[in-house]
């Protein structure tokens, strides 16, 4: 029996030890771990969904107060203050649960205004939150400071919360006074409850362009570092280009198209390239027909002097228009000759130019008329015909007689 009692006492001491450790050094709340980090002064414990732990967190406290008395009417009115939009108003900086404390200094200055009421409006709603701060001595001139607490769960960053006040009857006069009329918001910052702002105008540091090296600056001071695709869109409202490297807009290019005509004809009918000798300024005239809709003529004015009987070599890869010293000085075969008259014989005259003569009649032959005269076709001339005889000896002979 004594042994059993000793064992029971040992078990009770072990249970007590475990209870003491758990109570003095809790490591979980509702089965969820608590961070081992030691809290600082005035920190609270809050859940961090990223680390999935309860962690010490500094509370966020925001306040605003009235700066001018408000004469109450039967409709809820904003109170002038030092908060957002110069009202007794705060912007809640993070998503989550917040404790809102509204304190109203309410005074009856003329009897029978019924109750004087303070209300909380969230996210600029037209309806107040449940719960009011009320001063009920409407039949007595008196002053009271009244407080109300609200729990507000925000779902967006910078949700506005604002105090407003009114009286419940048309008679009498009531005031919401500057003394003690304040709004306070208390929340836990950090973890996933703090969300990124969705209003670009609320971002700080936008003027520091070095923090945004990826952004294109509207003043044009930052050059692109790679090719840019317009995604099948257009650049509009361009100023006409006036210097090398500047963009040319459509109207500017279209109005100057005549100065930049490109001849793409391949030598078909009605296309000529020649020297214009009708004007005092020598130039190359390009004329032809565009799509069968009419003739066109344009001129090129090269820096070199153009004269008749010069071969024009259109621009090479360097954009140079070259001129030769004579009309044609390149060797080529018969297949590259221009087409002449059918059934002619070609010869070179005293100047080296090609000339043609017609073929003669049947049995005529091409006859030279000397080294400096043109040949001609003539009848074949007559002349003596010499014959040669051969004698075969079949018998022997002697002497001088046959």
Distance set, CA 77 to CA 31, 168, 304 (Å): 47, 13, 88
- Structural domains counted in the chain: 2
pLDDT reported for residue 91: 95
Provide the pLDDT for residue 278. Answer: 47
Q: Which two tokens stand for residue 225?
A: 């570092």
Decide if 262 contacts 314 (C-beta within 8 A).
no
Tens of pLDDT, residues 70-82? 999 999 999 999 9
**The two three-digit tokens of residue 307, written as one number:** 């004269």
Q: Print the domain residue range for 175.
A: 59-193
Lowest average pLDDT, out of 204-208, 308-312, 372-376, goes to 308-312
**95 domain-assigned:** yes
Per-residue pLDDT reduced to its tens digit, 121-164: 999 999 999 999 998 876 678 889 999 999 999 999 899 999 99
Q: Which of 260, 295, 323 is the last residue of a domain?
A: 323
- 373 closest CA partner among 345, 347, 398, 394: 347
> pTM surpassing 0.85?
no
Which of residues 193, 215, 246 is at a domain's end? Answer: 193
Q: Indicate which CATH number applies to the domain containing 137.
A: 2.60.120.40
What's the mean per-residue pLDDT of the chain? Answer: 75
Query: How many alpha carbons lie under 13 Å from residue 183 in its C-beta half-sphere?
Result: 31
Tell me, yes or no, whether 286 lies in a domain: yes
Beta-strand relationship, 59-65 and 116-122? unpaired
Residue 77 within a domain: yes
Edge-to-edge strands of the sheet including 295-300? 272-276, 283-289, 295-300
In a domain, 163, yes or no: yes
pLDDT in tens, 305-344: 555 555 555 555 555 555 544 445 555 556 666 677 888 8
* Structural domain includes residue 396: no
Residue 356: its H or E element: strand 354-358
- Convert the pLDDT of each residue in 244-302 to its tens digit: 888 888 888 777 665 555 555 444 333 344 444 444 455 555 555 445 555 555 555 55
DSSP designation for 264: -
The position carrying tokens 């009244």 is 146
Give the residue from 193, 216, 246 where a domain finishes: 193
Establish if 186 belongs to a structural domain: yes
Domain membership of residue 317 (yes or no) is yes
- Residue 69 sits in the same domain as residue 182: yes
**DSSP character at residue 130:** S
Residue at 177 is within a domain: yes
Structure tokens of 68? 């001018």
pLDDT per residue as tens digits for the range 79-122: 999 999 999 999 998 888 899 999 999 998 888 888 899 999 99
């Amino acid at each position: 029996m004594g042994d059993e009692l000793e064992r029971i006492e040992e078990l009770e001491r072990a249970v007590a030890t475990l209870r003491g450790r758990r109570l003095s050094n809790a490591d979980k709340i509702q089965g969820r771990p608590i961070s081992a980090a030691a809290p600082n002064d005035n920190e609270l414990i809050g859940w961090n969904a990223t680390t999935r732990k309860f962690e010490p967190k500094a509370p966020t406290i925001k306040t605003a107060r009235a700066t001018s008395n408000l004469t109450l009417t039967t409709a809820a009115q904003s109170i002038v203050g030092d908060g957002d939009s110069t009202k007794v108003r705060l912007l809640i900086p993070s998503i989550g649960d917040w404790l809102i404390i509204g304190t109203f200094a309410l005074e009856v200055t003329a009897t029978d205004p019924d109750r004087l009421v303070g209300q909380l409006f969230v996210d600029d709603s037209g309806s107040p939150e449940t719960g009011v701060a009320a001063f009920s001595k409407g039949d007595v001139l008196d002053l009271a400071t009244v407080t109300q607490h609200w729990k507000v769960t925000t779902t967006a960053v910078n949700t506005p919360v604002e105090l407003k006040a009114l009286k419940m009857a048309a008679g009498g006069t009531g005031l919401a006074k500057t003394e003690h009329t304040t709004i306070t918001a208390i929340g836990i910052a950090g973890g996933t409850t703090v969300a990124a702002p969705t209003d670009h105008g609320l971002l700080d540091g936008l003027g520091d362009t070095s923090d945004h090296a990826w952004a294109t600056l509207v003043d044009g001071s930052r050059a692109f570092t790679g090719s840019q695709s317009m995604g099948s869109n257009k650049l509009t409202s361009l100023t006409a280009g006036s210097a090398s490297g500047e963009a040319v807009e459509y109207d500017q290019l279209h109005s100057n198209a005549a100065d930049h005509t490109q001849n793409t004809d391949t030598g078909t009918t009605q296309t000529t390239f020649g020297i214009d000798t009708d004007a005092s300024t020598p130039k190359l005239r390009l004329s032809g027909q565009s799509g069968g809709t009419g003739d066109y003529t344009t001129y090129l004015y090269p820096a070199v002097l153009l004269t008749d009987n010069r071969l024009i070599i259109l621009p090479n890869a360097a954009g140079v228009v070259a001129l030769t010293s004579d009309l044609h000085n390149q060797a080529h075969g018969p297949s590259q000759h221009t087409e002449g008259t059918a059934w002619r014989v070609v010869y070179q005259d005293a100047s080296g130019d090609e000339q043609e003569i017609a073929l003669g009649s049947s049995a005529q032959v091409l006859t030279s008329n000397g080294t400096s005269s043109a040949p001609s076709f003539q009848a074949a001339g007559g002349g003596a015909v010499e014959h040669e005889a051969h004698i075969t000896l079949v018998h022997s002979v002697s002497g001088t007689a046959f």
